[in-house]
Amino acid sequence: MGDQGGNKKGFEERIVRDPKTCGGEPIFKGTRVTLRTVLASLAAGDTAKEILVDFPSLKPEDIQAAIAFAAASAEEDLPVPEVPHIK
């Protein structure tokens, strides 16, 4: 099932911030497409294929990078609750 633990390098190579582009929002390298836009599209139920048609400057690896970013962010932001000890 892919690289568990988040392929951080994979998304860091594709998702960048530039204060001169899109107000410093995370974008996909070489584009003006924001990470937020792609994640919102995925959350709305758009398929990767639909997103790639809507944003032809993106590559399939960009969609995977967005998903990897979201997975890594969720891992960092959502602590695992402690399991009560059973006697």
DSSP secondary structure, the chain, as one string:
---TT--HHHHHHHEE--TTSGGG--EETTS--BHHHHHHHHHTT--HHHHHHH-TT--HHHHHHHHHHHHHHHHHHSPPPPPPPP-
Q: What is the pLDDT of residue 38?
A: 98
For the stretch 27-75, pLDDT in tens is 999 999 999 999 999 999 999 999 999 999 999 999 999 999 998 888 7
User: What are the residue ranges spanned by the domains of the chain?
Assistant: 8-76
Q: What is the pLDDT of residue 1?
A: 41
For the stretch 73-85, pLDDT in tens is 887 766 667 777 7
pLDDT at 2 over 70: no
pTM for the model: 0.76
Q: What is the pLDDT of residue 23?
A: 93
User: What is the third-level CATH fold of 8-76?
Assistant: Arc Repressor Mutant, subunit A (1.10.10)
